Amino acid sequence: MSVIVTDKGFSADDFRCGFVTPQDCAANDCDYGVDLPSDTAPDALAGLTNAPMIRIDFPSSADGRGFTLAAMLRRAGYKGRLRAKGHVLADQYAMARRSGFDEVEIDAALAARQPEDQWLARADWRAHNYQARLRG
């Protein structure tokens, strides 16, 4: 069972359309969510801007390639839901939001180890941005 983390806390998954690989989604014409592995090549992102949701896999909490993919998608104009899935830790939630993710999908075991209050402590992800403090 998966838990969805947003700035409001834990919730159930409300996305009911299912997920396909980028190869199974015709360019700019996909009613399903698209699952991207963390090693997706940047040029593979071009045809995905009209997908209702893109879910990027985090196979390890030490693998930050998903943050780069999210930022690239947002810079390319992607306006749909962007979800990080897998081994994202509560400490990484602010970075996930800053890079463009709307939500994080974690398993129930991680949710038990890192309860909702740990995620909510990082929900004000704009507040502790050192770059904003440097700009004054």
pLDDT in tens, 97-136: 999 999 999 999 999 999 999 999 988 866 666 666 666 6
Domain boundaries, the chain: 2-135
Class of domain 2-135: alpha beta
Secondary structure class of 9 (helix, strand, coil): strand
- What is the model's pLDDT at position 66? 97
Enumerate residues 6+ apart whose C-beta is below 8 A from 13. 2, 4, 105
Q: Which residues, in sequence order, are bridge partners of residue 103?
A: 83
- HEC string of 11-71 equals ECCCCCCCEECHHHCECCECCCEEEECCCCCHHHHHHHCCCCEEEEEECCCCCCHHHHHHH
pLDDT in tens, 2-33: 999 999 999 999 999 889 888 777 654 567 89
